[in-house]
Amino acid sequence: MAECGYTLPVWVAAAAVAAVRELLGQTFEAQVPLLLETVAGRQSTAIPVQAAARLSPERALATSCCDPGEVLDLTRGLQVWVEASWNAAGTDGDWLQLLPGEGVGVHAASGEACLSAYARQLLEVNLRPLLPDGRSLRLTITLPEGRQRAERTSNAAFGVVEGLALIGTQALVQRSAAPDQLAQARQELERRSQEPLWRGDLVLVLGENGLDLAPQQGLPPALLLKAGNWIGPLLVAAAELGVRRLLLFGYQGKLIKLAGGIFHTHHHLADGRLEILAAQAVQHGCSLNQIRLLLQAASVDQAIADLAEGDAGLAAGLQQRLAAVIEQRARSYLAKHHDADLQLGAVLFDRSRTLCARGPIGAELLECFQA
């Protein structure tokens, strides 16, 4: 097993390529060449698939098995099935239709498959050259164990139901809790700081959901850097490398740890989220009964939702307070480790993937970066 394996979108793309090759009558190969980057001119990589079979003249099925490498990842050994079939003739704009099968996460509001831009682009760049002129393709993706494994994730908290989301944003698995992930992030910062057009702007994003959501909110992809759990050391590294404007962008149930002075956010090391929320609620003027309500909740989102049922304005104000305190504590942390003239702001989103709070500086930076 490789030390660093591939994300789920890669295994989906590999099975898709194998299915289309079978549909075209090509000889089955246990290794399919896959372009792992979504830009032209890159070299292909051989990715293993398990099997492929034609089900009818118009349909073929292929399977792969997810291998994330040595990283502890719930996709290890996950079976991936992709059925390919011909669609009615389409144009360049609609030649690929993706359908979520069993075990694939969908957005609760729309029923559409939850997949990142990278996941779709990976399919497009590898499948388009295979299609004969005038052909349009339909893919049905199935993860037989996806629904069961999704119960171990926070997908439902982000409005994704029925299975695993295909939200990987790159080919290689990132080790968010391991020291080498911190080293990789720092190396990427160093690379950016040496670019001729470097302006010292950075958006530190927590988690894959944040990395997927940020561009949808108008934040330039070139500014985004996934922070993993190493928030504190990355703040210091950013200051050392000349960052002048830094926006923390993340799920409120994760970033809230910074309001309690916790700057390595992996849950194995520290939690205390509801306790931090309760402490801020005291400062915000919540009653004893309201604080008890918060502490009895199953999550930060649920706690705020319960509070909002009785007083929506109070709950919204508490969220704004959290964003402001996160900014304050982050600046205090940075001041202890580096003497930097750095604008540092925070923007929070909730389980519905809606921006729910902006710190004073976060609101300013969000507007600047969007522009």
Q: What would the DSSP string read from start to end of 266-333?
A: -TTT---HHHHHHHHHHHHT--HHHHHHHHTSSSHHHHHHHHHHH-HHHHHHHHHHHHHHHHHHHHHH
Domain edges within the chain: 8-164, 179-370
State which residues of the chain have pLDDT below 70.
1-4, 39-41, 71-72, 89-93, 154, 157, 174-181, 265-270
Q: Shortest CA distance to 154 belongs to which of 29, 267, 310, 304?
A: 267
CATH topology of domain 8-164: CbiD-like (3.30.2110)
Whole-number Å distance between alpha carbons of 111 and 271 = 33
Whole-number Å distance between alpha carbons of 165 and 123 = 15
Whole-number Å distance between alpha carbons of 148 and 179 = 30
- pTM of the complete model: 0.62
pLDDT digits (tens, 9 = 90+) for 97-137: 999 999 999 988 889 999 988 999 999 999 999 999 889 99
What pLDDT, on a 0 to 100 scale, did the predictor assign at position 6? 92
How far is residue 173 CA from its own chain's centroid? 12
What pLDDT, on a 0 to 100 scale, did the predictor assign at position 1? 36
pLDDT above 70 covers a percentage of the chain that reads 91
State phi, psi for 184 to the nearest 5 degrees: -65, -40
pLDDT digits (tens, 9 = 90+) for 34-80: 999 876 557 899 999 999 999 999 999 999 999 988 765 788 999 99
What pLDDT, on a 0 to 100 scale, did the predictor assign at position 207? 76
What pLDDT, on a 0 to 100 scale, did the predictor assign at position 11? 97
Given the structure tokens 């929506």, which residue do they identify?
Answer: 312
b/e for 291-321, b at 16 or more Cβ within 10 A? bebbeebebbbbbbebbeeeeeebbeebbbb
What pLDDT, on a 0 to 100 scale, did the predictor assign at position 178? 53
